Amino acid sequence: MTEGTAETGAATGGVNILLRLEGLTLFAGMVMLYWTWDGSWLVFALLFFVPDLSFLAYLADARFGALVYNAVHSYMAPVTLLTLGFGLASPLTLSIAMIWLAHIGFDRALGYGLKYSAGFGFTHLGRIGRQKDG
């Protein structure tokens, strides 16, 4: 099995539903935590879609686009940031991490998974976008 095939590794059925529910849980949890934290909703609104700027990497090519998109939409960086925010007692760092994780959860709940280099529409949660007949 190679990454270049259309739906390599795409979750289906109950696993897909579970992964999307995990995303919804992450989104809801981060929003509730941010609310409890008493974070600025203006900051939340301004930063919520910032990770989607990673789409611009697709202007170079699909492989680079997938690499950048996945780096921005994996849990590794925001969880590291969250940990540093707690360790350094940095409210801004914590706020950014919560917003970033909320964004990732929102995307996953909608079915926008991590990308394969075959193109933007090929994700670990299955195909997204319009499918060409063919």
* 131 assigned to some structural domain: no
Q: What angle do CA 110, 6, 125 make, to 5 degrees?
A: 20
pLDDT (tens digit, 0 to 9) for every residue of the chain, 134 residues total?
344 444 567 888 899 999 999 999 999 999 999 999 899 999 999 999 999 999 999 999 999 999 999 999 999 999 999 999 999 999 999 999 999 999 999 999 999 999 999 988 889 988 887 665 54
Which stretch of DSSP H or E encloses residue 115?
strand 115-116
Would residue 25 count as lying in a domain? yes
Q: Which domain holds residue 46?
A: 13-123
Is residue 8, in this structure, part of any structural domain at all? no
Task: Dihedral sign for Cα 6, 110, 104, 43, please.
Answer: positive
Q: Looking at the 3D structure of the chain, how many domains does it have? A: 1
Entry pTM: 0.88
CA distances from 67 to 32, 36, 106 (A): 30, 34, 20
Residue 46 lies in a domain: yes
Domain membership of residue 1 (yes or no) is: no
Distance in angstroms (rounded) separating the CA atoms of residues 120 and 34:
30
Q: Is 6 within a domain?
A: no
